Structure 1
Amino acid sequence: MEIVFASELEADPHAWVAALRDALPEARVRLWGDGAPEGDADFAVVWAPPSDLFVREPRLRALFNLGAGVDALLRLPGLPDSLPLVRLEDGGMAVQMAEYTLYHLLRESRDFGRYERQQAQEQWRPLGDIDRDAWTVGVLGAGAMGARVAQACAALEYPTAVWSRSGRSVPGAESYCGEQGLASFLARTRVLVNALPLTDATRGILCRRTFDRLRPDAVVINIARGGHLVEADLLAALDEGRLRAAALDVFEREPLPPGHPFWTDARIRVTPHIAGASLMDRTVRQIAGKIRALDRGEAVSGVVDRDRQY
């Protein structure tokens, strides 16, 4: 069994190769482009793989992604129709995304940003008590990431709801689905958290029409994909007072280019796609278990439905 690790973005690919070798001692694991003979890999583990992957590795039996989102993989040139794509199921990302969301939710709802500004001015001025009913949270997406985010918010007694295509239920949160459900979901939401997969149906969902349906003085938190957000609509909604703040971890173009208006807008908090990183140990254990199962001819979870795009 041969495995190739291929990534054009991973800072330390050798560490991933070493971890995969430790977890799968029976396999030959090599790094893409290391000069070793190519063309015989059974499995590929990738994150932003090279565009000629399938030309140089035509015998792949499955492709494992180091993240939950597979929109970039579906656009790879030469992707074989029959090749199973296996997305990462959590891998330590969900709890990090919950932490990220809670940080920004608490900063807004507890006025911590205002207290920071008061400290800079040496002001001692307690603000009003929190009214959690005024800080309704709505999570777009009820998969592993969205469900964990919703449960974390609900555990702190914020009124929480989730919206998904399937109407999947999440303990502690109201559930909405479909276009009719989306309108009702947005109408009761003040803090909107996006944890959806990026598909043809969800691209641009964070737009003027969505922002206009939210409760007044709303906050948007995007931890999914940059393609979900219409950037001009966000800036307009902030300028018009429709939104009070946004926390953005993902962008249509990454890295976010110098001079982009998001960098200097005090109403927008920018982070460099770090809301939920794949933790190496957990990720490798999950992938190794699935590779062994596939090698035995067994079915595995996390296989992408090409029609649904996740």
Structure 2
Amino acid sequence: MGNQVNEALVAARAEKLFFYSPYNFLRQLEVDVQQRLFGTGVAGQYAADPTHQVFEFAEGEDTVQFLYTLLTWDTDFFRAPVYKLFTILFTSATSAATLAAAGTAFRQQLKQQGAAYCFAELPVEDTRVAQALGNAGWRLVETRLTFFHDAVASFNYPRYPVRSAGKDEAAAIGRISAQARNDYDRFHADKWFGDELGDQFLAKYASASVEGYCDDVLVPNEVSLPVDSFLAISDLHQHANSLHTGFSRVVLTAVGPANRGWHLKLVSETVHRARQNGASYVLMTTQATNRAVFRTCEKLGFKLGGSSHVLAWSA
């Protein structure tokens, strides 16, 4: 722990690190900029952040590095030390046995630091990292698909009455999120959290979205219809500025029984909002099990961009 990042290992992993960009499937965006923002640039400068940690494992001529960090907000909420692994660095010559041994050593390092939980979100292209973690006892808790809409300027789906949620509705939005439980999101699929705590986390997250964490939260605005659904949006301003384009990302959405059918309407209005704001892309990530979202994407003209796995370890 405390080692500097090995530049040669970053270079060896450059091809896979590109896929850590959440926009790797948008071919119009510059590869070099995406690498700097999300891939080799992040890995190469990882140790420069004092909250980041580097664990190094050496065996023979092989060196393996784990880049990870303590998540203070999550740690406070769950009242247990929660870590996130960014990635693992190694060369193509590193054997599966060495990676497995490195994974076991990293697991021991986490235990020594008092970690209760550690997770990683890996692009599906990074199979060797997923295999190394699996061999070290990590479990798969969620597989995600990211859809994108790149014809925002010409989007002409029918309009629906929506409005932005007010900050005084934060608690209500939180309750909607908690009650619309999704057994396949990582907070419910991974039983380390437990259903009740998973509900509480998503309620807090949804409330924070209304209170300023997100750029907008859309809710139905139809006469005599109770608000029992919402869709939180981030416009990803920092990424958009760096990549010289405009984004809107669906961060979180939930639909209760009183608003059946409103997922499609809220997503449609998100695309209209992006068009009005001059954005080029709308992004939406969901679980690979969420067939209802697939149908929405098909109807509204979204395309499948990429996929990722969430793996986790707990003490």
- Bigger share in strand: 2
TM-score higher than 0.5 here?
Answer: no
TM-score tier by shorter-chain length is under 0.3
More helix by share: 2
- TM-score, normalising length: structure 1: 0.25
TM-score by length of 2: 0.24
